[in-house]
Structure 1
Amino acid sequence: MSTFRSRTIRDRLAMLFTSRDRLSQRDFGLAIFLFTVSVLFVGGLIAYVIVRSNLAKTYEPTALVIPSALWLSTVLLVLGSFSIHRALFFVRQEKQQQFRNCLNLTFLLGGAFFVIQTLGLIHVLRQHSEVLLVLDQAKNVYHYPSSYGVLFSFVLLHALHFVVAFGILGFVIYKAYLYQYDHEYHWGVHACSIVWHFLGVVWVGMLLLFCLVG
């Protein structure tokens, strides 16, 4: 009898620690993802500033004009961050309908953000290529300076970050309609909100870079 009880206690403890380990692994994986993206963006930011500064020594480029589409997309992204935050609040309160409504609103705002910002970034890239088009006097040909390549890589990385965040949001919405989130289990919603907020922080950093450096 005592042996049976000891086994039962050990089994329960094993299940408890296993669930905690899984949660820790998820948090660790999320932290690694955010750290990797942070390193890439900081590295890209530093590289762009260095290349742009070196380029300014040879000629004086015209400052970029930030299109209105980028400001509008920023507002949409902030609203999306607020709605996903409210979704997390509602699922913790076990208000399933409001929870799903906020997720749907975030999805719509994210889609609008993608379309409008794509148009804005295309305009920025075209403007950047025109501003930084340098005439090579020796060969009498035009070439793009390396800062354009850095900016293009920057934009591409931001696009990939958005695709990942949007995909996570879609998966969370799918599971939400299967009622797989409640006030006890909502780690997926929590992770989605962190990724979405982080996307906003990264984008604001890029926008400031465009405004300050050009």
Structure 2
Amino acid sequence: MDMNDFNARAAEWDTPQRVKKAQRVAAAIEGAVTLDPSMDVMEYGCGTGLVGLQLLAKIGTATFIDTSEGMLEVLSSKLAQQQLPNAQVCNVDLSADTSFSGAYDLIFSSMTLHHIPDYAAILARFSGLLKPGGKLAIVDLVSEDGSFHGAGFEGHNGFDLAQLAQAFGAAGLAVTHSDVFMEMKRENGRRYPLFLIVGAKAGV
């Protein structure tokens, strides 16, 4: 999907299937990263906040980032309705915007990396936004045959975990966790494995 597709589908995005998947993703992240109320956290490619909102009560502050205005409008409405003052939303493309700054204890992203052409560059960008000792958690597709998105998709057909671990290392992140933790069923009837990989930036 392109950005117009995401914007058009934002209001109906939170299907029961997506909510259930987000719950499993949030649980996997929480199982691999120790959360505490002092943490400053960023979710990149947050969509309507299905994953990040589940972690919000266990951290300090959250910065939700996406490039879909429609998705961010839905998320902003949720934050207002639930009166969650420790969160903010930002429309920023970190692949292109070099002015955005911050310092985070945790950055996480779910099903976004395969949409980013230069994934090595965005990993380095994430690393630069982490505090010493901070962690990056990525959930995405294990390498697949291209049928997940179908013809015309210009992103990555999933990732080889060994190669992604090398990219983490090149970005200054030591892998602390890596596993395939669930499968995602698509409209074509096939199931696609999802992985979680976590890397830590060197401490002071």
The question of a shared fold, defined as TM-score above 0.5 by the shorter chain, is answered with: no
Of structures 1 and 2, the larger Rg is shown by 1
Q: TM-score, structure 2 length as denominator? A: 0.22
Q: TM-score of the superposition, structure 1-length normalised?
A: 0.21
Q: Which structure carries more strand by proportion?
A: 2
Q: Higher relative CO (CA 8 A, sep ≥ 6), structure 1 or 2?
A: 1
